[in-house]
Copies of this chain bind each other. A is one copy, B any other.
């Protein structure tokens, strides 16, 4: 189906897929909402403010790429973070953005 040429290059691809999981505002919102623990699809859809179907699609992507795990309980399915380093990585990025915004504010507010 698909030969793996360079194992290092393959690792980069996996890493890129992982980052694709974090490369959408809705998915970041979902990840963030799961920071304190597992939640159902409906809870997440409501928290994030998207339709159930849309939330389910994004959650499926996050699960495919390995960022989330699922657990079934009755008719509900609970999603949870698979590795807490994902949250750390998100927070690092958030820190970069925050700092950049502060700098831009600075330039705008103190142009003298």
Contacts and interface: CB of A to CB of B under 8 A. Distances in A.
A12 B17 CA distance: 19
A35 interface: no
Copies of this subunit: 2
B85 A96 contact: yes
B11 A16 contact: no
Interface residues of A, number: 36
Q: Is the interface of A mostly helix, strand, loop or mixed?
A: helix
Nearest to A87: B92
B66 A100 contact: yes
Interface in A1-48: 9, 11-20, 22-29
A102 interface: no
A52 to B, nearest CB: 19
20 contacts: A12-B28, A14-B97, A15-B22, A15-B25, A16-B22, A16-B25, A16-B28, A18-B93, A18-B97, A19-B28, A19-B93, A22-B23, A23-B23, A66-B96, A82-B96, A85-B93, A86-B93, A88-B92, A89-B89, A89-B92
